[in-house]
Amino acid sequence: MLSPTFSHLSSWPARYVAWSRRNIFVTMCATGFSLIVLAALLAPFLGLPDPAKIDFSVKLLRPSSMHWFGTDALGRDIFSGVVHGARISLLVALGVVFMAAAIGIPIGLISGYAGGWIDTFFMRISDIFLAFPPLLLPITLSALLGPGLFNATCAVAISWFPWYARIIRSSVLTVKSELYVQSARAIGTNPFSIAMRHVLPNSLSPVVVQASLDFGFAILTTASLSFIGMGAVPPTVEWGLMVASSRSVFLEYWWTAMFPGLAIFLTVFFANVVVDGVRDSLDPKLRGQP
């Protein structure tokens, strides 16, 4: 479903082409993002050198036809690292968002639907989580959980779930008073099946929007954790870790920091523009605006 402005066009490819023409920038970013996803999917089949292989005989080489993005202080191929890093970063970001939603949605649903002391209990707990400024809770949690990318993913997800719980809760509160929910209750449907079959599906969309908006932010947060040594550990090849390992040499050998850094920037940039563009074209309030 695109914008209704194009509804006079019969087939969906025609409508898609019309939408793309009007949103050239979004389409370009979508193409860029697709390329990154493609690189992530195909990384092991491209015949690239092992991104974790240490070889001091080729350390700190300039970008060349042999090593497109040069090599780092340990002689690892940076192009291969950037391509393989896409796998890790996208996977971790998906992991964060899904895990946060998987914890937040049931809590928000129970809170909003049950109300009373259950609601108070869960909301006070989420208050504690929201008392930490962003990034501080992931840092503290991953410190306590220990290093490693999986722990960092969990740490970020645990820090974010209260946002999802709150969003779901507030839409559950609205949906709960809808006529169809009241009717279901009036004919004696059991509360569990009302919650699962009527309330949940109808209160899910704000959380889906939030999750897709958070995708880029999840990449940034986990890369930041890796950068300060609280995320990925070698031999995992991760963009934030690549930038971190270039810290002692980047002033003379700019490519060691530039390419992994640019990879993070472009991925987040593309993801944000695409999500915003799609959301705008689905939002009835913004339709027809330039």
| Count of residues touching other proteins (by CB under 8 A) | 43
* Candidate ranges 53-61, 79-87, 135-143, 182-190; the one touching other proteins (CB under 8 A): 135-143
Q: Is 68 in the site for other proteins (CB under 8 A)?
A: no
Indicate the residue among 202 and 272 with the shorter CB distance to other proteins.
Answer: 272
Long-range pairs of 56-64 with CB within 8 A, sequence gap ≥ 24: 60/249, 60/253, 60/256, 62/255, 63/255
Q: Is 243 in the site for other proteins (CB under 8 A)?
A: yes
* Candidate ranges 8-16, 74-82, 102-110, 253-261; the one touching other proteins (CB under 8 A): 253-261
- Binder among 116, 133, 188, 288 for other proteins (CB under 8 A): 133
Which among 243, 245, 240 has a CA at the least distance from the CA of 223?
240
Kindly write out the interface string for residues 214-233 of this chain, putting x where it contacts other proteins by CB under 8 A and - elsewhere. Answer: --x---x--xx--xxxx---
Indicate the residue among 236 and 272 with the shorter CB distance to other proteins.
Answer: 272
User: Could you give the CA distance from residue 134 to residue 159 in angstroms, rounded to a whole number?
Assistant: 8
Q: Is 272 in the site for other proteins (CB under 8 A)?
A: yes
Long-range pairs of 171-178 with CB within 8 A, sequence gap ≥ 24: 171/112, 171/202, 171/203, 171/205, 171/206, 171/207, 172/108, 172/109, 172/111, 172/112, 172/113, 172/199, 172/203, 173/112, 174/203, 175/199, 175/202, 175/203, 176/112, 176/113, 178/202
* Candidate ranges 11-19, 85-93, 143-151, 204-212; the one touching other proteins (CB under 8 A): 143-151
Tell me if the bond preceding 44 is cis, omega within 30° of 0: no
- Binder among 73, 103, 269, 280 for other proteins (CB under 8 A): 269
> Minimum distance from CB of 25 to other proteins (Å)?
10
Interacting residues with other proteins (CB under 8 A) = 124-125, 127-128, 131-136, 139-141, 143-146, 216, 220, 223-224, 227-230, 240, 243-244, 247, 250-252, 254, 257, 261-262, 264-265, 268-269, 272-273, 290
